[in-house]
C-alpha cells in the first residue's frame, strides 16, 4: 500500500501528453497521460495516473494480496476506507447494486447486480492488483456506481518461465492448494506469446455448523503483440462452486451458542465460465482500446427468503474507446505554446439474460428477463496551467428491460430508463509532492429486475434513483519522512431512493413492496496513511467517517401507522471504521503484521428508537499474519480473530434482534515453492 500511495508524490503537469501505456484498465483512460519524472519504488504508470485523477480512490497491490491471501472479501477490503457493512462501497444497503465489479476494465457480469463480494468470483491467484474508485466519479463506467467501481487487474505473463505450487491448511477443515505456470514463448510464427495458467482448489469449512465453501478454479491468459505498439490478449476462467451458509440467529440462540445453525441461510451449487478478448494500440497522438467479455452462470440455489430456484445468466459487454491527445490547442493565442488537451470518446454495449425457475412462498415462477444497455460517452481533459487540470465528461445510458413470464403471460412487461450523467473534476499541483482534487458528478440507477418484475410484490412503476455527488481531497507524500497520505471528503444525495413499504403479514412474515419513498444523504471522510519511521517498522491506517441519514422518509412498516423517519440514521451504518496495521521486520524476508479492525456502534433499524437494546456495538477484531521467504520457499501463518471475540457482522431488529454471526478464531498455515 505504501508504494501505491507514494505515487502521489510524482511531480504533476511537467510536460504535455507523451505516450500511451499498454495496459487495459479503466484508470488509464480516465486521466491525461503525463510523463513521470520520479516514481517511488516500482509503482506502475496506470496506478500513478489513477492517483493523479480527480476522484477518491484506493489501490490494493500485489504485496497486500500476497500477504492477506483472502478467501472472504472482507479480509481484504476492510484494509481500505469506504467499505460499508453491506454489499456496497459507502452505501450500507444490501439490496442495492451500487458497486460495479470489473475485470481488466470490463463488466464481465451485469453491472446493475454488482457487489463488493464478487471479487471472490475472480481466481485470487490471478490478481495483480485491485483498483477502487469511489462514487459516481467517471463518465467511462456505469452511471449506477453510487458506491463506486472495483476493478480487478489480472496478472501479465512474465518474460521468463515461472512456476509455483502451494498448499494451505488449518482450522475448520480448511484445505487449499494450487499450481501456476507462466512465461513467454519467443520467436513463434506470430511473434512472442506470453501465457499464464493457474488451477487451484478450496475446501473450507466454517465457524458455523453445516457451513462450507468448496471451489475448483482454473484461469488462463494468452498475450500477443501484433506490432511494437499494440497488444492483443485472450483470457478465460472457470469456477465450479458449492457453498452453504447458516441462517441468522435470534437473541436467545446467539447467547446460547453462536456456532449453531438452526437453518440454511443460503445454498448455491453452480458453475461460472467467462472469456474476454482485448486489443490496445498506441497511435502517434492517442490510443485505441477495444474489448469484449462474456460470462455464463448456471446452477441451483436455495435462500431462506426466496425459496428454491434454478438459474442461468448470460452477460456480455462490448466496449470501444479512442483517446486523442492534442499537444498545442490554441497555440496562436498563447504565445505559440498552446494548451495540452486530451479527448476520449467511445461506446459500451451490455446485454444480459436471466432465465430463472423458482419455487418460493408465492408458488412456482418461470421467467426470462433480457436487459440491454446502450451507453455512449465522451470526456475532455485540459491542462489549463502548469499546475491545474480540468476534466469534463458526459455519459448517456439507455437501459431496456424485456421480461417474459412463461406461466402468466399477462405479467410480461417492458421498461426503458435513460439519462445523461455529467461529471466535472479539477486537480491542482500544490507542490512537487502534494496535490488537491475536487469533483462533482451525477449518477443514475434504474430499479433492479427483482424490484420491477420478479419479487412477490414487485412494482413495475418504479422510477430510477438519481444521485448527486460532490467530493474534494488531498494526496501526497513527505518523502524524506517516508510518510504518505490520501484523504477525501464526499457529499452524496440520492433522491427517489427505493425503500420497502409494508403490504401485509402472511404466515407470520411481513411482506413488503419497493417504492420511491425516500431521499437519503451520505456524507463522510475517507483517509489512508502509511508511515515507515525506520526500515524494520511500518504503520498503516485506513479510516472512514460516514454519516448516512434519511433526509425525507415516511415509513408505514408494520401496517399500523405511518412513521416519519426523516433525520434518522440508516441501519447497519456505523459512523466510524478504523483499520490499523503494524508490521515488524525483525530480519530479512520475515514480516509480522498485527491488524486491528474496529467499528463504532450502529442502529439495528432505520426506526432508530425501535430496538430496546439501542445500538449494536461490535467488538474489535485482531488478525495476525506472519510471512517468511527463504530462496524459492514461502511460508505463512495466519490467525484471524486472534482473541476469539464473539461478534456479529450485522444485526437487525424488527420484533426482536437477528444476528449474522462473525467467525471465531481461525488459524491456518501454508507453504509455496517457486521454480
Confidence of residue 505 (pLDDT cuts 50, 70, 90): confident
Is it the case that residue 305 has pLDDT exceeding 80?
no
Integer CA distances (angstroms), 330 to 228, 284, 334, 491, 611, in order: 32, 20, 6, 36, 64
pLDDT value, residue 7: 38
Q: Which of 290, 327, 300, 297 is nearest to 312 (CA)?
A: 297
pLDDT value, residue 635: 98
The top-scoring range by mean pLDDT among 303-317, 360-374, 577-591 is 577-591
As a three-state string, the secondary structure of 2-48 is HHHHHHHHCCCCCCCCCCCCCCCCHHHHHCCCCCCCCCCCCCCHHHH
Q: Which of 6, 2, 69, 33 is nearest to 670 (CA)?
A: 69
Is it the case that residue 581 has pLDDT exceeding 90?
yes
Distance CA(139)–CA(146), nearest Å, equals 13
pLDDT value, residue 345: 96
pLDDT of 236-285, one tens digit each? Answer: 999 999 999 999 999 999 999 999 998 888 999 999 999 999 999 999 88
DSSP string, 469-492: EEEEEEEEEEGGGTEEEEEEEEEE
pLDDT value, residue 452: 87
Is it the case that residue 10 has pLDDT exceeding 50?
no
293 vs 559: which has the higher pLDDT? 293
401 vs 458: which has the higher pLDDT? 401
Distance CA(383)–CA(342), nearest Å, equals 9
Please determine, looking at this structure, whether the domain spanning 165-674 carries the CATH number 2.40.170.20: yes
265 vs 32: which has the higher pLDDT? 265
Is it the case that residue 180 has pLDDT exceeding 60?
yes
pLDDT of 50-104, one tens digit each? Answer: 777 899 999 999 999 999 999 999 999 999 999 888 889 999 887 888 999 999 9
Is it the case that residue 558 has pLDDT exceeding 50?
yes
DSSP string, 339-360: EEEEEEEEEEEEEEEEEEEEEE
pLDDT of 161-176, one tens digit each? Answer: 999 999 999 999 999 9
Q: Which of 180, 47, 25, 50 is nearest to 103 (CA)?
A: 25
Distance CA(122)–CA(138), nearest Å, equals 24
Integer CA distances (angstroms), 190 to 224, 226, 281, 647, in order: 8, 7, 17, 57
Confidence of residue 26 (pLDDT cuts 50, 70, 90): very low
pLDDT value, residue 394: 96
For residue 262, give the C-alpha cell.
438452526
What pTM, to 2 d.p., does this model score? 0.89
Confidence of residue 362 (pLDDT cuts 50, 70, 90): low
pLDDT value, residue 508: 64
Distance CA(29)–CA(47), nearest Å, equals 12
For residue 65, give the C-alpha cell.
494480496
Mean pLDDT of 360-379: 87
Q: What is the mean pLDDT of the chain?
A: 88
Is it the case that residue 330 has pLDDT exceeding 70?
no
List the single range of 50-54, 122-126, 367-371, 474-478 with lowest mean pLDDT: 50-54
Distance CA(144)–CA(315), nearest Å, equals 17
Distance CA(301)–CA(243), nearest Å, equals 10
pLDDT value, residue 24: 30
Distance CA(286)–CA(537), nearest Å, equals 43
pLDDT value, residue 155: 95
Distance CA(90)–CA(464), nearest Å, equals 19
218 vs 53: which has the higher pLDDT? 218
Integer CA distances (angstroms), 367 to 324, 354, 412, 457, in order: 45, 8, 9, 15
299 beta partners: 270, 311
At a CB cut-off of 8 Å and minimum separation 6, what does 20 contact? Answer: 28, 33, 280, 282, 283, 286, 287, 323
pLDDT of 626-665, one tens digit each? Answer: 999 999 999 999 999 999 999 999 999 988 999 999 999 9
pLDDT value, residue 510: 72
pLDDT value, residue 31: 37
For residue 195, give the C-alpha cell.
501465457
Confidence of residue 200 (pLDDT cuts 50, 70, 90): very high
User: Grid coordinates 448516512 are at which residue?
Assistant: 548
List the single range of 445-449, 565-569, 633-637 with lowest mean pLDDT: 445-449
421 beta partners: 395
Q: Enumerate the domain spans of the chain.
A: 165-674
Is it the case that residue 32 has pLDDT exceeding 70?
no
At a CB cut-off of 8 Å and minimum separation 6, what does 656 contact? Answer: 250, 251
- State the pairing for strand pair 363-383/465-478: unpaired
| DSSP 8-state code for residue 579 | E
Amino acid at each position: 500500500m505504501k508504494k501505491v500511495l507514494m505515487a502521489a508524490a510524482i511531480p504533476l503537469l511537467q510536460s504535455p501528453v507523451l505516450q500511451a501505456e499498454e495496459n487495459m484498465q479503466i484508470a488509464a483512460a480516465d486521466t491525461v497521460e503525463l510523463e513521470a519524472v520520479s516514481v517511488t519504488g516500482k509503482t506502475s504508470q496506470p496506478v500513478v495516473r489513477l492517483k493523479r485523477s480527480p476522484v477518491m480512490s484506493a489501490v490494493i497491490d500485489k504485496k497486500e494480496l500476497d500477504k492477506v491471501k483472502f478467501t472472504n472479501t472482507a479480509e481484504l477490503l476492510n484494509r481500505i476506507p469506504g467499505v460499508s457493512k453491506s454489499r456496497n462501497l459507502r452505501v450500507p444497503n444490501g439490496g442495492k447494486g451500487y458497486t460495479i465489479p470489473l475485470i481488466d476494465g470490463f463488466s464481465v457480469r451485469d453491472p446493475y447486480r454488482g457487489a463488493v463480494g464478487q471479487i471472490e468470483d475472480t481466481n485470487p491467484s490471478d490478481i495483480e492488483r485491485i483498483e477502487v474508485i469511489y462514487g459516481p466519479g467517471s463518465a467511462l463506467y456505469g452511471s449506477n456506481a453510487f458506491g463506486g467501481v472495483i476493478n480487478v487487474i489480472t496478472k501479465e505473463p512474465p518474460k521468463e518461465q515461472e512456476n509455483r505450487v502451494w498448499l494451505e491448511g488449518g482450522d475448520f477443515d480448511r484445505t487449499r492448494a494450487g499450481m501456476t505456470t507462466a512465461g513467454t514463448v519467443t520467436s513463434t510464427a506470430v511473434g512472442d506469446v506470453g501465457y499464464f495458467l493457474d488451477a487451484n482448489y478450496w475446501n473450507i469449512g466454517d465457524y458455523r455448523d453445516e457451513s462450507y465453501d468448496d471451489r475448483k478454479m482454473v484461469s488462463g491468459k494468452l498475450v500477443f503483440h501484433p506490432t511494437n505498439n499494440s497488444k492483443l490478449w485472450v483470457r478465460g476462467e472457470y469456477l465450479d462452486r458449492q457453498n452453504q451458509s447458516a441462517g441468522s440467529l435470534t437473541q436467545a440462540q446467539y447467547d446460547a451458542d453462536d456456532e449453531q445453525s438452526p437453518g440454511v441461510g443460503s445454498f448455491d451449487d453452480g458453475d461460472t465460465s467467462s472469456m474476454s478478448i482485448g486489443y490496445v494500440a498506441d497511435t502517434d497522438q492517442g490510443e485505441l482500446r477495444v474489448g469484449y467479455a462474456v460470462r455464463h452462470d448456471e446452477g441451483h440455489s436455495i435462500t431462506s427468503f426466496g425459496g428454491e430456484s434454478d438459474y442461468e445468466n448470460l452477460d456480455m459487454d462490448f466496449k470501444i474507446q479512442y483517446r486523442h491527445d492534442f499537444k498545442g490547442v490554441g497555440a496562436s493565442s498563447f504565445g505559440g505554446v498552446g494548451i495540452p488537451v486530451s479527448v476520449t470518446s467511445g461506446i459500451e454495449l451490455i446485454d444480459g439474460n436471466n432465465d430463472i425457475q423458482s419455487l418460493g412462498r408465492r408458488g412456482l415462477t418461470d421467467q426470462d428477463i433480457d436487459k440491454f444497455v446502450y451507453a455512449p460517452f465522451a470526456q475532455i481533459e485540459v491542462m489549463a496551467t502548469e499546475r491545474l487540470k480540468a476534466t469534463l465528461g458526459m455519459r448517456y445510458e439507455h437501459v431496456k428491460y424485456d421480461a417474459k413470464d412463461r406461466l402468466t403471460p399477462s405479467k410480461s412487461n417492458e421498461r426503458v430508463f435513460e439519462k445523461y450523467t455529467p461529471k466535472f473534476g479539477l486537480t491542482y499541483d500544490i507542490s512537487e509532492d502534494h496535490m488537491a482534487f475536487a469533483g462533482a458528478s451525477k449518477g443514475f440507477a434504474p430499479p433492479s429486475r427483482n424490484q420491477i418484475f420478479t419479487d412477490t410484490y414487485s412494482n413495475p412503476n418504479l422510477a430510477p434513483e438519481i444521485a448527486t455527488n460532490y467530493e474534494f481531497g488531498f494526496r501526497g507524500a513527505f518523502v524524506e519522512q517516508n510518510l504518505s497520505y490520501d484523504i477525501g471528503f464526499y457529499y452524496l444525495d440520492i433522491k427517489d431512493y427505493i425503500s420497502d413499504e409494508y403490504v401485509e403479514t402472511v404466515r407470520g412474515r411481513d411482506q413488503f413492496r419497493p417504492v420511491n419513498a425516500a431521499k437519503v444523504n451520505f456524507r463522510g471522510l475517507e483517509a489512508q496513511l502509511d508511515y515507515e519511521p525506520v526500515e524494520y517498522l511500518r504503520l498503516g491506517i485506513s479510516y472512514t467517517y460516514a454519516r448516512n441519514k434519511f433526509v425525507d422518509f415516511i415509513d408505514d412498516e408494520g401496517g399500523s401507522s405511518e412513521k416519519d423517519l426523516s433525520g434518522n440514521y440508516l441501519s447497519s451504518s456505523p459512523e466510524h471504521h478504523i483499520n490499523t496495521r503494524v508490521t515488524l521486520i525483525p530480519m530479512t524476508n520475515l514480516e509480522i503484521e498485527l491488524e486491528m479492525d474496529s467499528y463504532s456502534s450502529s442502529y439495528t433499524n432505520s426506526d432508530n428508537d425501535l430496538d430496546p437494546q439501542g445500538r449494536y456495538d461490535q467488538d474489535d477484531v485482531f488478525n495476525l499474519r506472519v510471512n517468511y521467504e527463504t530462496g524459492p520457499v514461502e511460508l505463512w501463518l495466519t490467525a484471524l480473530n486472534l482473541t476469539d471475540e464473539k461478534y456479529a457482522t450485522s444485526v437487525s431488529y424488527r420484533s426482536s434482534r437477528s444476528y449474522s454471526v462473525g467467525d471465531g478464531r481461525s488459524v491456518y498455515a501454508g507453504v509455496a515453492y517457486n521454480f
